[in-house]
Chain A
């Protein structure tokens, strides 16, 4: 990733629909070779942002620069569009062979026949669909069709690729293998990528940076680790899977740690804040451990709370335990642990978490 020269930069981008603003991005910059994932709930504006960045949707205002050149004229838009590719949720293949589909972007550019055949064939091989070249695009499985669509997008050697939830209609094993291949190809080719997804795990695996979107705005943008563990606000926190979000007030400060009063409890957290300051405490459920005795192994004694199990909900590979410790706390526990600790509703337990597991968000009001 080359941080000095942004390949794409936008300023004051706004898209309005029926008078209402559906996209409002004051600034966004993308470095060459970077993979940026957009996550957010349905209707957050992920697709709108992708379409606007690909100049397939008109913005109401704003400026876009590709490699330092502002894209303004129709000619510049066409040149820019020929430097990018886009893959949608549906494969959107043409009613012809797989080969012709993959070659279509090259044909549009008037590439010589021999070169076109060579490039398309290489791309088919790269996505593992060389054996399907002569097959009708109408007779492909979901995974094969999406592979064809991706191969078509990469055939033109785009400088930026936009992916709009390309895996969301695939079954888990197909998605897994395609994601693996895409990740490899993205790293091999060093193609700058913006991908929209609603799957955080997908985003964490593929991206260099993650942008969380809400109501047409970027709520937070940063490294995956930062977004997951230090969400910028309550919306981001709840979207990235922080189950415990508590309003509190700082009552005491120490050396790099603070004591925060939340409902009927006091939590120790790492951070800097002034006494009396109002904050939001975020605790990820996988950071909370449960025991039946008050011996939190290696955990600050202060953050061990006696509590009562309110509800146990199965979540597939683990259980979600809702607790009342004077404040509401959520923990994820594996099935063997539930069995070993004989957890059941109403049972008294001790919940503990490290002071570093608490992320503080200062409240603006």
Chain B
């Protein structure tokens, strides 16, 4: 018990004293995961919507692949992103392995199928004739898509929250492609793993609490967006 209480005390001390290193790690974690979530939102919502609205050969296979992708193990993503970005790899020339950019890429790969799968289900769940009704109201194709997305905004924001949840808590891929370099590519999860392995439980708990607070805050913001403007 002492370890936990000590850890919580330490966490608040680190927070209130605005410890530079902890703040840096928190800020980087937030930036990386928010960037990855944004990227996955654009890719996931648009591809998910396209798949939901169109019929084409092999559609079922595509849907199964997307759904499988939702359970993609981060270490597998980490492994393949590492191979691609390795000096001799196909994208080695970019020289971004062990940088925050590499973590953003890996996290985007993890979050995109999550956002895509939920978006697909959300758009598919809208009434079948709604698309025709919107077109009959005189909408262009773009207006129609925007109105459908607006109609599915609750589940779509849930998709974004799930995507963010998936990447802010992810550790395997960040460790593998980011390298956990102090002051450069160290994020909350990788730092927690490292401190735990060193036996610095107090700092590890402190980092975990910050991680929880961060996840909580971002989700509160998204929930507020999701639930605003709902008419009585």
Complex contact B138–A78 (CB within 8 A): yes
Residue of A51, A88, A97, A108 touching B138 (CB-CB under 8 A): A108
Residue of B137, B139, B230, B232 touching A85 (CB-CB under 8 A): B137
Residue of A84, A86, A136, A156 touching B133 (CB-CB under 8 A): A86
Residue of B135, B137, B147 touching A156 (CB-CB under 8 A): B137
Give the Cβ gap from A192 to chain B, nearest Cβ, in Å.
15
Give the Cβ gap from A16 to chain B, nearest Cβ, in Å.
15
**CA separation between A160 and B132, bound complex, in Å?**
16
Interface bin, chain B: 10 to 19
Complex contact A56–B137 (CB within 8 A): no
Give the Cβ gap from A195 to chain B, nearest Cβ, in Å.
14
Q: A94-B147, A94-B151 are in contact. Are A136 and B231 (CB under 8 A)?
A: yes
Name the CB-closest residue of A to B232: A136
Give the Cβ gap from B184 to chain A, nearest Cβ, in Å.
45
Residue of A78, A82, A105, A135 touching B232 (CB-CB under 8 A): A135
Complex contact B232–A88 (CB within 8 A): no
Q: A90-B129, A92-B127, A108-B143 are in contact. Are A56 and B135 (CB under 8 A)?
A: yes
Name the CB-closest residue of B to A78: B140
Complex contact B147–A56 (CB within 8 A): no
Residue of A84, A94, A137 touching B136 (CB-CB under 8 A): A84
B123-137 contacts to A (CB < 8 Å): 127, 129-130, 132-133, 135-137
Residues on B with C-beta less than 8 A from A59 are none
Name the CB-closest residue of B to A77: B135
Interface residue? A113 (CB, 8 A): no
Residues on A with C-beta less than 8 A from B127 are 90, 92
User: Which of B127, B135, B230, B231: most chain A CB closer than 10 A?
Assistant: B231
Residue of B129, B130, B137, B140 touching A105 (CB-CB under 8 A): B137
**How many residues on the A side are at the interface (Cβ–Cβ under 8 A)?**
28
Contact with B along A76-100 (1 / 0, CB 8 A): 0010011011101010101111000
Interface residue? A17 (CB, 8 A): no
Complex contact A104–B129 (CB within 8 A): no
Q: A94-B147, A94-B151 are in contact. Are A81 and B135 (CB under 8 A)?
A: yes
Interface residue? A62 (CB, 8 A): no
A86-145 contacts to B (CB < 8 Å): 86, 88, 90, 92, 94-97, 104-105, 108-109, 134-137, 139
User: Which of A78, A95, A137, A162: most chain B CB closer than 10 A?
Assistant: A95
Interface residue? A152 (CB, 8 A): yes
Question: A81-B138, A109-B138, A135-B231 known; 19 other A-B pairs, CB under 8 Å?
Answer: A51-B132, A56-B132, A56-B136, A82-B138, A84-B136, A86-B132, A88-B132, A88-B133, A92-B130, A94-B150, A104-B137, A104-B147, A108-B137, A108-B138, A134-B231, A134-B232, A136-B231, A136-B232, A139-B232
Contact surface of B with A, Cβ cutoff 8 Å:
127, 129-130, 132-133, 135-140, 143, 147, 150-151, 230-232
